[in-house]
Structure 1
């Protein structure tokens, strides 16, 4: 959601940024940000927030459920593919290991603890224990990103990284006993998207940004929405969450590997459509793309508080106008959480420098 995207870049390829920005790297020259990726990150985080706002509305609206299914089919895969793309040069060197710790591990510990205490109130679970092994709510992505990042040198060295990653994901669906430690089931099932990102080159992104791709994405996306609407009573969209084995989905074991391949193909098609529509020029929201970690982790508290007060029980939220209002409010809230004032307040826990905790690197 982990850093949602900016951390993926910061710990992987880019130098430490100037104050007020994240080390998000660029698809172009060193030190120069690519507006396309910042735009993609912002739009994806808006979809994450909107998807969470739609969750309480699914039972009352087939249309909302269909849109929810489509969004969940590609928004996290898009995040993860871009994370992998900006992790290509991660080599566990001291500088990058430090940024991995400060940009992923520290936010994970802080927000895993914070969400635990907040959930005690929002969900009425006063005895919920603080544990760093069982990611709570949005923090699963940080745990998964840490695992993926550490294994990057391996994926960069094997001959067939993507087929191997797909095989790992397929086998994970056959293993109900993997357990909840670090949400490993989800980390393994989402692994192919990260590995795909490692394998991509700038020219691959240029391909989906062509005008022909943008035009083709329109009927493809329209068909996806129509198909999702038809599938609402016939299909368990839980497959797009990638957090359960086939047995836990109450289907025969052999469904798991087949659904892994089918969902991977579907998600990548929609990711390509999404990226085809992302503007490549600077826009009013481009600068917000460097604050996706903040929007990702902070909006969860807003969602949990709103659910605690049962906002979705209001009759107006079940009406079409109400659903539109909920969507707009979610987009506005997460946008505000990506802005500079919010980032200045929370930078100490999301992008801490922590020079005091690391040995000074000496150059020969």
Structure 2
């Protein structure tokens, strides 16, 4: 079974549930390349968070990256969920590919946190540990796929849901529901996209235009650093929790959606379309995502970020390169073979007799 973050194969929207290496099924290198580059940005962004006195330049880069890296990830996940239905086979694969890894890594991260920082740190399955919020979110998004494919205006409706969430005050921390709802439009957008939309980004005028647009976005991010909190980008809080008027929640929802859409298009416009060295790593992005947190949090809690060198520009560059190399290594086939039991468990033993083909 391929991980829920693995791209589907060419021409088969639902083949994210097909066995890796299935005969007659060809992976699209574009999506593997996009997923690898996106997971590198995720890991780099997380490595920047604990930097001491990171400075305005790093903060601007952080804001720029966070404006689109998770939205791109989620759009691709939605795009390859188009064939999902509530059949027993697909639900079983969703449970074993998302909920089981979530349970395993929730326990693993809790034990890890107890060992390196707080011996009394509680196990809270309903409140995901840091990066693990994405797994229950993916489960909820995907299980509602038939609904979004049924309604007439799915993207505007999902944006309305996200805007209402950002203006509310009664959403708790259970399953990081605030994030689930605020990131929902990107998953729904992915469900609505077709191959032609991605082909459009391959056009030369689009690729050329992407460069100045990205540069302007960087300048805007640099301007915004001392003026706007980056907490908006996490989509974990309502407007009132951020000390802003309620109406700004809806405004920021639309603004951030538009910014992520534009910057995500710029990013995808420059993703290579041909098979490269990174292509094989794109199938292992879930491994990189789930495992890199141990290293980032471990370095933070064990004092790795306390060295004065990290307050210098060369130190920040070193952290960036280390994070990129680390997550690259975690996506490689040897690492995937070692941790497949936790990330992609088959669990055929749990099926009733006669259901072993699920």
Measured in 2, the distance between the counterparts of 1:8 and 1:297 equals: 20
Distance in 1, Cα, partners of 2:212 & 2:304:
35
Deviation at 1:362, TM superposition (A): 9.6
Deviation at 1:15, TM superposition (A): 4.7
Cα separation, partners in 2 of 1:15 and 1:69, compared to 1, 3 Å: closer
Q: C-alpha separation between the residues in 2 aligned to 1:13 and 1:249?
A: 41
State the distance in 2 between where 1:300 and 1:43 align: 17
Aligned position for 2:100: 106
Q: 1:231 to 1:176 in 2, by over 3 A?
A: same
Whole-angstrom distance in 2 between the partners of 1:205 and 1:128: 44
Q: Contact 1:59–1:65 (CA<8 Å) still a contact in 2?
A: no
> Deviation of residue 86 (structure 1)?
0.1
Deviates more, 1:54-63 or 1:74-83: 54-63
Give the alignment of 1:184-199 within 5 angstroms: 184-199=177-192
What CA distance in whole angstroms lies between the structure 2 residues aligned with 1:84 and 1:154? 13
Matched, 1:240 2:242: no
| TM-score in terms of structure 2 length | 0.94
Q: Distance in 2 between matches of 1:5 and 1:266?
A: 23
Change (3 A) 1:174 1:92: same
Structure 1 runs not aligned, ≥5 long: 24-28
Q: Distance in 1 between matches of 2:62 and 2:170?
A: 29
Task: Give the deviation of 1:174 after TM superposition.
Answer: 1.6
Deviates more, 1:136-145 or 1:316-325: 316-325
Taking structure 1 as the reference length, the TM-score comes to 0.93
Query: How far off is 1:171 after superposition?
Result: 0.4
What is the CA RMSD across the aligned residues, in angstroms? 2.1
| Alpha-carbon displacement from aligned partner over 1:145-164 (angstroms, at most 9, x marks no partner) | 00001100000001110111
**Deviations 1:61-80 (Å, cap 9, x if unpaired)?**
10000000000000000000
- Partners of 1:320 and 1:203 lie apart in 2 by 42
After superposition, where does 1:28-39 map in structure 2 within 5 Å? Answer: 31-39=25-33
Verify: 1:6 aligned to 2:6, yes or no.
yes
Which string of whole-angstrom CA distances, capped at 9 and with x for unpartnered residues, describes residues 9-36 of structure 1?
8994345324xx6x8xxxxx97210000
Q: 1:250 to 1:58 in 2, by over 3 A?
A: farther
1:59: how far off?
A: 3.5
CA distance in 2, matches of 1:30, 1:256: 47
Identify which of 291, 294, 312 aligns with 1:319.
Answer: 312
Moved over 6 A (4+): 7-11
CA distance in 1, matches of 2:350, 2:164: 39
The answer to whether the aligner puts 1:202 opposite 2:195 as a matched pair is: yes
Gaps of 5+ in 2: none
Q: Distance in 2 between matches of 1:249 and 1:332?
A: 35
Q: In 1, Cα distance between the equivalents of 2:40 and 2:284?
A: 12
Measured after TM superposition, the shift of residue 125 of structure 1 is 2.2
Which range is displaced more, 195-204 or 168-177? 168-177
Deviation at 1:311, TM superposition (A): 2.1
Q: Is the counterpart of residue 17 in structure 1 residue 11 in structure 2?
A: no
Aligned to 2:58: 64
Write the mapping of 1:333-352 to structure 2, written as runs, cut at 5 A.
Answer: 333-352=326-345
Paired with 2:231 and 2:204, the residues of 1 have a C-alpha distance of 33
1:185-242: per-residue Cα shift (whole Å, max 9, x none)? 0000000000000000000000112221111110000011111111111111111111
Q: Does 1:152 align with 2:154?
A: no
Q: Does 1:119 align with 2:121?
A: no
Q: How many aligned positions are there? A: 353
Cα contact 1:172–1:245 (8 A) shared by 2: yes
Give yes or no for contact 2:165–2:182 (8 Å, CA) kept in 1: yes
Query: What's the CA shift for 1:312?
Result: 2.2
In structure 1, distance between residues paired with 2:242 and 2:282: 35
Q: Are 2:212 and 1:215 equivalent residues in the alignment? A: no
Q: Distance in 1 between matches of 2:169 and 2:103?
A: 26
